[in-house]
Structure 1
Amino acid sequence: MEEIGQTEFICPSDTFLGIIKGKCKTTLIVLIKKGRNRYGEMCRTLPTISPRMISKQLDELERDGIIERHSFAELPPRVEYTLSDYGETLYPIIREIRKWGYMHQARTK
């Protein structure tokens, strides 16, 4: 971490938010953790999110090392996603953020 006064200060909270920011990324992480780890299942679970957006978010999560993509050589082809070991460290934080979000939604109704 850089210190204040150096060329640039990189806020760790901004780094965190940059990783989870995106349409339903936290929901995708929860779905994968709970075993809904196939693309088609995710699309059916999130019908208000376009398949293209789900694919984009999965690609970003994979690029950031949060999830892993596993392809199976069978017909028809099958792909499943799992949380990486690194992603597992993020899951408890996501769970707490979502808990707070539900509480806030109920409070503001």
Structure 2
Amino acid sequence: MTQDLHILVGKQGESTKFAYYRRFLMLPVQCRMARAALGLKIAELADLAKMSTNTIVRFEKGKELKQSTIDDLRLVLENAGIVFIPENGDGPGVRLKKSGS
């Protein structure tokens, strides 16, 4: 995946990080899975992400949000220890990072 970060250059000069997130989007179901894996309530995730609980609820219900908001939410979950698994034929998912990773 590190190689993907170097290859992905978005349109109109967007950053590599942004291009990466556009390629591997977080789905609402992955957000719910990640929250469950971390044992977080909606309010706790909202507090960590500095977002309203309504924003989290809307996203998890599949409502449209700005991509930058979804990217920020994904980054918070990744920093909390979540690894996102893209759709690969078996469906999207999440897992916890190994200790020491």
Q: Scaled by the length of structure 2, what TM-score is found?
A: 0.31
Q: Scaled by the length of structure 1, what TM-score is found?
A: 0.29
- Larger RCO, structure (CA 8 Å, separation 6 or more): 2
Based on CA coordinates, which of the two structures has the bigger radius of gyration?
1
